[in-house]
Chains A and B, each alone.
Chain A
Amino acid sequence: MNYYTPFLEVTKTILDAGGEDLKKCYQCGTCTAVCPWGSVREFSPRYIFKLAQHGLEGYEGDELWLCSTCKTCVDRCPRGVGIIDVFTSMRSIIAQTGLIPPTLRSVLGSINSNGNPWAGKREERNIWAKELGLKNFSGETTEYLYFSCCAPSYDPRTKKIAVATARVLKEAGVDFGIFGKEESCCGESIKKTGDNTTYEKLLNSNISLFNSKGVKKIIAQSPHCLYTFRNEYPAHSGNYEQVHYTQVLAELIKGGKLKPKKEFRKKVTYHDPCYLGRHSGIYEEPRDILKSVPGLEFAEMIRIKEQSFCCGGGGARMWMETPKEERFGVMRIKEALSVGANVIATACPYCIQMLEDGRTALGVEDRIEVMDISEILSATMF
Chain B
Amino acid sequence: MDKPRIGVFICHCGTNIAGKVNIEEVKKYASTLGDVVFATDYKFMCSDPGQELVGKAIREHKLNRVVVAACSPLMHESTFRKVCMLAGLNQYLFQMANIREQCSWVTEDPELATVKAKAIISGAVAKSRYLEPLNIKEVTINPSVLVIGGGIAGIQAALECAEAGNKVILVEKTPSIGGHMAQFDKTFPTLDCSACILTPKMTSVGQHNNIELMTYSEVKEVSGYVGNFKVKILQKAKYVDHSKCTGCGICMEKCPYKAPNEFEEGLAQRKAIYTPFPQAVPNKPVIDKETCVYFKTGKCRACEKFCEPKAVNFNDTDREIEVNVGAIIVATGYDLFDTRSVSQLGYKKYDNVYTGLEFERINNAAGPTAGKIQLKDGRTPKSIAILHCIGSRDKNYHEYCSRVCCMYALKYAHLIKEKTESDVYNCYIDMRCFGKGYEEFYHRLTEEGVDFIRGKAVCVLDYNDAKTLYPDMVEALGITDSEEDRKKLFVRTEDTLLKKTMWLPVDMVILCNAMKSRSDAKDISRLLNISIGKDGFFLEKHPKLAPVSTATDGVFLAGACQGPKDIPDTVAQASAAAAAAISLVQRNKVVIESATAYVNEELCSGCKLCNDICPFTAISFDESKNRSVVNDALCKGCGTCASTCPSSAIKANHFTDRQIFAEIEGLLNL
Contact = CB atoms under 8 A, between A and B. Distances in A.
Interface of A: 26-30, 32-34, 38-39, 42, 44, 46-47, 75-80, 302-303, 307, 331, 335, 338
B470 interface: yes
Nearest to B393: A78
Contacts of A30: 456, 458, 494
A32 B501 contact: yes
A78 B396 contact: yes
Contacts of B499: 32, 42, 44, 47
B429 interface: yes
B500 A28 contact: no
A38 B344 contact: no
A188 B344 CA distance: 29
B468 interface: yes
Contacts of A303: 469
B459 A29 contact: no
B402 to A, nearest CB: 13
Contacts of A75: 396
Interface centre among A28, A46, A77, A338 (most CB of B within 10 A): A28
Given A33-B501, A34-B458, A76 B468 contact: no
Nearest to A47: B499
Contacts of A80: 395-396
8 contacts: A26-B429, A29-B454, A29-B456, A38-B492, A38-B501, A39-B469, A78-B396, A303-B469
B459 A34 contact: yes
B392 to A, nearest CB: 9
B429 A76 contact: no
Interface in B450-494: 454-459, 465, 468-470, 492-494
A297 B490 CA distance: 31
Contacts of A335: 468-469
Interface of B: 343-344, 389, 393-396, 429, 454-459, 465, 468-470, 492-496, 499-501
A46 B465 contact: no
Contact of A32 (B343, B393, B469, B494): B494
A307 B394 CA distance: 18
Given A29-B455, A33-B455, A78-B389, 9 more contacts: A33-B456, A33-B457, A33-B493, A34-B459, A38-B501, A80-B395, A331-B469, A335-B469, A338-B468
Nearest to B457: A33
A28 B429 contact: yes
B494 A33 contact: yes
A33 B496 CA distance: 10
Contacts of A338: 468
A256 B629 CA distance: 63
A271 to B, nearest CB: 14
A30 B429 CA distance: 10
Nearest to A307: B344
Given A38-B501, A338-B468, A79 B496 contact: no
Given A44-B499, A78-B456, A33 B492 contact: yes
A46 B455 CA distance: 11
Contact of B496 (A28, A38, A78, A307): A28
Contacts of B395: 77-80
Given A34-B459, A38-B501, A29 B493 contact: yes
Nearest to A73: B458
A86 to B, nearest CB: 16
A27 B456 CA distance: 9
Nearest to B458: A33
Contacts of B456: 28-30, 33, 78
Nearest to A309: B469
A78 B389 CA distance: 10
Contacts of A47: 496, 499
A323 to B, nearest CB: 15
A380 to B, nearest CB: 30
Nearest to A26: B429
A25 to B, nearest CB: 11
Contacts of A331: 469
Contacts of A33: 455-459, 492-494, 501
B496 to A, nearest CB: 4
